[in-house]
Structure 1
């Protein structure tokens, strides 16, 4: 059964980040791509929450999935812990990087959080694979190509749970603040849009940079928290999209 989450959202929204060091791979950028994985509040610039070893990390291409868990390196020098990875691009095409983090206990909300996250990076042109689905329990399928976008472009996607659209799903949107913007009030930190009856949502990105789209749904069943109690699970479908200024 598809269930829209009725849990609270607000200025301190959690977002799992999966950010490459370039949004488009070209001959100039080279074949090496770095990715940063951290769990944080992007618009507020933190704090960063500690990540345990992810359950899944990989890339989906036209050839299928490739497990990249062996490429993960913990940023042990940072507190709390985050991860990084380096990937060598083998050929042209769209690269759908995906991440299932370890469940995170949030005592303030009384639930476990699992944010299924993906980021699409095009490499050297080639075949388009940007609508490919990872097969997560919850997932955002883009209807707008999620790269090569200008600030002000409208990004549109479908929220799905178990492969089916989620009517009227709530989607939180945050810009990954690079320190250049002071948020005038907490209500501006997390933008909120609601999908239509077919699970389709849209948002116009007003500024260049990375934008996170997060649909928060209630997972079936429960998980055991660190105190040994059964608690609800927030199952988030996330996608990161980059926009550039037209200058």
Structure 2
């Protein structure tokens, strides 16, 4: 099948998954910031759709923000903590990003590879999330030059529930055709004070992970059915394929925020 923008709807499907989706979170309570100040961030490796198993994170290799094209190193804000999921507790990290001037703040997390013993592979999910202050767009349309990333083609911090989100999967800056993208809803958002999940608002989908396939231009489109945070993970699209003698799945993850139209 040849994929293009007209056939992308047909490419989106629910397919069984061998395991629930792992997702690296770079979570803030709000994506639209009204007042200047330090915005708390939680970095968690989790199964947020099902409020499931939490994985131990190693210290991130990189953690920074891009604002007006400039890099703000945030590694000195990292503090190891524990996230208490519904089933288990695991190592996570608290951090913060200084949001002062108007514009976009693109949060970039490059985690240490995680060893998944059940599959005998390493997983590294290079993750982007977006904040904005005063509704001034400055950076969201640009790639961040990562080994692999998803470039949003819809403004990612105020998507309308009931509309669609389109992204382009990149590896070393080049579009990736035929990429498998797992799609996850943050059903239970983290409580920033207690370090545990809030009450889940929905349950996981029957039939396994929600999956889209990118077209020949690396693009995919997904209809956003409800407000909240949505994550997209393009699996194994990065250029690095091995870590410490084992297979590495180097994934590109993006989180977007959708709102109801009122």
TM range (shorter): 0.7 to 0.9
Give a deviation string over 1:91-127, Cα, whole Å, max 9, x none. 0010000000011001111211100000011112334
Contact 1:209 1:242 in 2 (8 A): yes
- 1:99 is matched with which residue: 89, 109, 113? 109
RMSD over equivalenced CA pairs, Å: 1.8
User: Which runs of structure 1 show a deviation greater than 6 angstroms over 4 or more consecutive aligned residues?
Assistant: none
**Deviation for aligned residue 1:88:** 2.2
The reply on whether 1:75 has 2:60 as its aligned counterpart is no
Is 1:180 the counterpart of 2:190? The answer is: no
- Give the alignment partner of residue 67 of structure 2, picking from 61, 69, 83: 61
CA distance in 1, matches of 2:60, 2:240: 21
Mapped to 1, the partners of 2:241 and 2:184 lie a distance apart of: 28
Match of 2:253 among 226, 235, 238: 238
SS in 1 for 2:149: strand
Task: Give, in whole Å, the separation in 2 of the partners of 1:103 and 1:175.
Answer: 23
Aligned-residue offset at 1:174: 0.6
Match of 1:223 in 2: 243
Residue 143 (str. 1) matches residue 153 (str. 2): yes
TM-score (norm: length of structure 2) = 0.83
Counterpart CA distance in 2 for 1:13 and 1:183 is 11
**1:192 aligned to which of 211, 216, 225:** 211
Return the offset for 1:24.
0.3
Q: Distance in 2 between matches of 1:235 and 1:73?
A: 24
1: CA distance, partners of 2:225 / 2:53: 24
Counterpart of 1:125 (choices 123, 127, 135) is 135
Question: Which stretches in structure 1 are left out of the alignment for 5+ residues?
Answer: 1-7, 225-229
Q: Contact 2:28 / 2:41 at 8 angstroms: preserved in 1? A: yes
Asked if residue 19 in structure 1 is aligned to residue 2 in structure 2, the reply is: no
SS of residue in 1 equivalent to 2:39:
strand
- Cα distance in 1 between the residues matched to 2:128 and 2:215: 22
CA shift at 1:239, angstroms?
A: 0.4
Unpaired runs of at least 5, structure 2: 1-15, 189-199
Partner residue in 1 for 2:233: 214
* TM-score, structure 1 as length reference: 0.88
**Structure 1: distance between partners of 2:66 and 2:98:** 14
Superposed CA deviations along residues 215-234 of structure 1, whole A, max 9, x for unmatched, are 0125444111xxxxx11110
SS across alignment from 1:217 = coil
